[in-house]
Amino acid sequence: MSESESQSTTKLWGGRFSRPTDALVDELNASIGFDQRFAKQDIAGSIAHSRMLARQQIISQEDQDQIEQGLRQVWSEIQAGRHEFRLSDEDIHLSVEARLREIIGPAAGRLHTARSRNDQVATDLRMWCREAILMLSAGILDVADSLVETGDRYPDAILPGYTHLQRAQPVLLRHHMLAYVEMLLRDLDRLRDAYRRTNQCPLGAGALAGVTYPLDRQFTSDLLGFDQPVANSLDAVSDRDFVIDTLASCAQISMHLSRLAEEIVLWSTPEFGFIELDDAFATGSSIMPQKKNPDVAELIRGKTGRVYGHLMAMLTVSKGLPLTYNKDLQEDKEGLFDTIDTLAMILRVLPPMLSSTTFRPEVMERSAGGGFALATDIADHLVKKGLAFREAHEIVGSVVGYCVEQGKDFPDLSDDEWRSYSDLLADDKPPLTPRDAIEARNMPGGTGSSAVADARAELPTRLDEFRGWMNVENERVQSIDALISGE
């Protein structure tokens, strides 16, 4: 590379530097390629900041009017695709400010009064992050609704429950679907907590130590829909816990959805045969015409590693940083953006995939009755007749061993065969069908039909609690749209 080719276009910062940075440094340093995603948040934050400056008589109202009008024009140009995001502007803050200066002239320079890019970027990212949390929460509710609807379509369907991927005890499919809803409810709770910690305003912290101007930080915070300003200026510019909170919540969401995806993969195999995926959510093979591959579920499962990776990357970036801001924190965005994009796509594809999947109740129930899945029920039957559970467990284990040796299952045994192990098993037959086993478990949290119906009936109230929270916060977040539109 020649000297002319490596010449930087970056402007000199004040009088400290005698030559510009190398072009390669500019390329490494620039974040404009990805932080343009929160242009809306940056412009809204600048409008709120300028209003506060004018209110506190730090800048004139005339300057503020020009700044606000010019910022709205910048936003309209960005929306229309007419704004040029230049590498020389380095980041979204300088990109917006440079265009603002072209529009309104010297008054644009007053916008940065009592503000640093350090507290500015922290504010932008918090605003972007809280919108992402609300979007993901809506997607999780959609998946929860689709799980509930799937169970409602097959209210009496029975399938084997598993431990160690070995048939254990029969359960209702509806109960199985509601187990995933419980996971998602916990995910929503984690996101709500992450949102609460995210929704604090760093503006006013300046570069790190606060500023010398008489700011009204609460006014700016209120304009932007935050709960309150960040309490400590050093923490305000260096904290990325809210990013880690969000990534950690996303990692657990991904883990739960990956578990569901794994079951879809298993259930769709001929070995299980529990479900038939709709053609729209499966793919074929380039060489084997008979194949119907659960690629969508496999991708959901596979992308979990990608989400985990971004969480670990952010934890690693943060672990060695002294107070306060360090350039390492520029690495907080790309992984977050990719995580949100990845999870949002998964949350969009899962509901139609679930709603279009055909379950095969007869296959599931036949499987639920095999593999000695009722062994525990037979042991419980003996306990109810007065035997200690350990003794009952040993008797039933011996029966299972005999059945395996003879190639039989419980329903195949004669009275004499039952009696050879215990008179209690011959005189009063234990439950021998999956449905009998299920109906014996009508206790809160159990898989009995009435217990599951009760749990299903409570779900709308529990889900609506999160919908109510989301509606309130969405209205507050929309304050930044109102700032930009001038409403």
246-250, 296-300, 352-356, 416-420 — which is least confidently predicted? 416-420
Question: Regarding the domain delimited by 118-210+235-366+456-485, which CATH topology (the fold level of the hierarchy) does it fall under?
Answer: Fumarase C; Chain A, domain 2 (1.20.200)
| Mean pLDDT, residues 128-146 taken together | 98
Listed ranges 283-292, 400-409, 459-468; the one with the highest mean pLDDT: 459-468
Q: Rounded distance, CA 100 to CA 6, Å?
A: 28
Phi and psi for 299 in degrees, rounded to 5?
-65, -40
Across residues 457-468, what is the average pLDDT? 97
**Inter-axis angle of helices 39-55 and 92-104, nearest 10:** 60
pLDDT of residue 4: 37
| CA dist 412 → 268, 372, 407, 408, 434 (Å) | 30, 12, 10, 6, 15
Least confident of 355-359, 379-383, 447-451: 379-383
**Greater pLDDT, 298 or 19:** 298
Q: For residue 148, what pLDDT band results from cuts at 50, 70 and 90? A: very high
Question: Over the stretch 365-406, which tens digit does the pLDDT of each residue have?
Answer: 999 987 788 888 889 889 988 899 999 999 999 999 999 999
**pLDDT > 70? residue 1:** no
pLDDT of residue 371: 73
What span, in angstroms and rounded, lies between the C-alpha atoms of 483 and 487? Answer: 7
Contact partners, residue 277, CB within 8 Å, separation at least 6: 264, 268, 292, 294, 296, 353, 356, 357
The average confidence (pLDDT) of the chain is 93
Tens of pLDDT, residue by residue over 29-84, are 888 898 999 999 999 999 999 999 999 999 999 999 999 999 999 999 999 999 99
> Are 158 and 171 contacting, i.e. CB atoms less than 8 angstroms apart?
yes
Per-residue pLDDT of 78-131, as tens digits, reads 999 999 999 888 999 999 999 999 999 999 999 999 999 999 999 999 999 999
What is the structure's pLDDT at 303?
Answer: 98
Residue 475 has pLDDT above 70, yes or no: yes
Q: Please state which CATH class domain 375-432 belongs to.
A: mainly alpha
Write down the pTM of the prediction.
Answer: 0.91
> For residue range 316-327, what is the model confidence (pLDDT) as tens digits?
999 999 999 999
328-351 tens-digit pLDDT: 999 999 999 999 999 999 999 999
Q: Tell me, what's the pLDDT at 243? A: 98
173-198 and 449-477 helices cross at what angle (nearest 10)? 20
Neighbours of 443 (CB within 10 A): 10
Q: What single DSSP character describes residue 15?
A: T
Residues that are catalytic? 164, 285
Label residue 14 by pLDDT band (50, 70, 90). low
DSSP state of 161: E
Residue 6 has pLDDT above 70, yes or no: no
Higher-pLDDT residue of 357 and 16 is: 357
The more confidently predicted of residues 212 and 289 is 212
pLDDT at 15: 65
pLDDT tens profile 220-253: 999 999 999 999 999 999 999 999 999 999 999 9
Whether 375-432 and 23-113 are alike in CATH topology: the answer is: no
How is the chain split into domains, by residue range? 23-113, 118-210+235-366+456-485, 375-432
C-alpha 12/C-alpha 267 separation (Å) is: 63
Q: What is the pLDDT of residues 257-273, one digit of tens each?
A: 999 999 999 999 999 99
- Under CATH, domain 23-113 is a member of which superfamily? Fumarase/aspartase (N-terminal domain) (1.10.275.10)
Would you place residue 13 in the very low, low, confident or very high pLDDT band (cuts 50, 70, 90)?
A: low
